[in-house]
Amino acid sequence: MSLQERVEYAAMKARHENKLRAWYKKWWGVLLIILAAIFLIFVIASGIYVVQQIQKINDGGSTQYLEEQRQAYINAINRSANNVSGPQNASITIIEFSDFACPYCKQSYTGLKAIREKYSDKVRIVYRDYPLHDNSIFLALSARCAGAQGKFWDAHDLLFKNQDKFNIPLAELETLMPNLAVELDLDVNQFNTCLEEQSYFSQIKKDYEDGDYLQIQGTPTWFINNSRLTGYIPAEKLQEMIEGMLNLETK
């Protein structure tokens, strides 16, 4: 084979090998792989960024939802009420969901009365209705109608003190109730009209709805500075709690 023939053969072989070479070994294949890798990295980075942003949105939404739920809970406890004793800016607020026909509420009322009288300038007490017994709504209306004449707490104490006396059929109770107005030195006609018109039923209903939202299972249920307690609290225990909280305030 002549030299010329060998040169032509080598050139032909080189062209043949180049055609048979795998695509990824060719310059354009290498370039394609590099471009594909860059694109893949971009897609992965973009995906991570999108997931992170979605997570931030979800976390923010969850936080906002929890805050809204917490605020709704606080609002249900601290709904504006008429039956309040003590200063608005008191460092301790006792909110009681109660029922004038509940025997456990009767057990608790003496301790609450003592707190109301002893700490009248330091403790704010709010009475809210959560009627659960047969005569509860009528008794709640009666106390509120007395409250319309400035005698709610007098009626509150009288109804609990004489609870057994008012544990009678509703028809008899309606006949007996004007005597309460006389005992409290109320305008009897105004009191009776208030009862007949059920003037405060909507407020009692709102108290009950708030109690239901708060998942109150029984009375009395207390919220002392928004902390929940359930059931009868002995007078000495309640006194101890209030004293302890007031002592913390002075330290």
pLDDT of residue 50: 65
84 strand-pairing partners: 126
Regarding whether 47 and 4 lie in a shared domain, the answer is: yes
Tens of pLDDT, residue by residue over 231-249, are 999 999 999 999 999 888 7
Regarding whether 94 and 214 lie in a shared domain, the answer is: yes
Provide the Cα torsion 76, 81, 83, 89; round to 10°.
90
pLDDT of residue 42: 72
- At 58, is the pLDDT very low, low, confident or very high (cuts 50, 70, 90)? low
Regarding whether 69 and 145 lie in a shared domain, the answer is: no
DSSP notation for 170-226 = HHHHHHHHHHHHHHTT--HHHHHHHHHHTTTHHHHHHHHHHHHHTT--SS-EEEETT
Percent of the chain topping pLDDT 70: 80
226-to-53, 95, 110, 138 alpha-carbon distances in Å: 36, 8, 22, 28
Instruction: Count Cβ neighbours within 10 Å for each residue of 190-219 and write b for 16 or more, e otherwise.
Output: ebbebbeeeebeebbebbbebbeebebeeb
Regarding whether 133 and 234 lie in a shared domain, the answer is: yes
Regarding whether 127 and 226 lie in a shared domain, the answer is: yes
Tell me the torsion sign for CA atoms 82, 86, 90, 94. negative
Regarding whether 116 and 28 lie in a shared domain, the answer is: no
| Nearest partner of 159 among 149, 148, 145, 171, judged by Cα | 145
Of the residues 77, 106, 141, which one is the last residue of a structural domain?
77
Number of domains present in the structure of the chain: 2
Regarding whether 6 and 129 lie in a shared domain, the answer is: no
Determine the distance from the C-alpha atom of residue 116 to the mean position of all C-alpha atoms in its chain, rounded to a whole number.
26
Task: Give yes or no for residue 56 having a pLDDT over 70.
Answer: no
Listed in sequence order, the residues at least 6 apart from 217 whose beta carbon sits closer than 8 Å to its beta carbon are 230
Regarding whether 47 and 88 lie in a shared domain, the answer is: no
pLDDT of residue 20: 45
169 Ramachandran zone, left/alpha/beta (phi>0; psi -120 to 50): beta
Regarding whether 115 and 90 lie in a shared domain, the answer is: yes
Of the residues 55, 77, 99, which one is the last residue of a structural domain?
77
Of the residues 56, 77, 98, which one is the last residue of a structural domain?
77
- At 63, is the pLDDT very low, low, confident or very high (cuts 50, 70, 90)? confident
| Nearest partner of 218 among 133, 143, 155, judged by Cα | 133
| Residue of higher predicted confidence among 3 and 126 | 126
Regarding whether 123 and 63 lie in a shared domain, the answer is: no
Task: Give yes or no for residue 208 having a pLDDT over 70.
Answer: yes
Tens of pLDDT, residue by residue over 129-151, are 999 998 999 999 999 999 999 99
- At 167, is the pLDDT very low, low, confident or very high (cuts 50, 70, 90)? very high
Distance CA 127, CA 147 (A): 12
Regarding whether 65 and 85 lie in a shared domain, the answer is: no
Domain of residue 175, residue span? 81-250
- At 60, is the pLDDT very low, low, confident or very high (cuts 50, 70, 90)? low
Distance CA 77, CA 98 (A): 13
Regarding whether 120 and 195 lie in a shared domain, the answer is: yes
Tens of pLDDT, residue by residue over 172-188, are 999 999 999 999 999 99
pLDDT of residue 114: 95
Tens of pLDDT, residue by residue over 3-50, are 566 545 555 555 555 554 555 566 556 666 777 777 777 777 767 776
| Least confident stretch, 70-79, 154-163, 208-217 | 70-79
Whether omega before 220 lies within 30 degrees of 0, making that bond cis, reads yes
Distance CA 219, CA 140 (A): 14
pLDDT of residue 45: 73
Give the domain CATH number at 142.
3.40.30.10
Distance CA 58, CA 48 (A): 15
Q: Which amino acid is present at 5? A: E
98 strand-pairing partners: 129
The tokens for 220 are: 């009395």
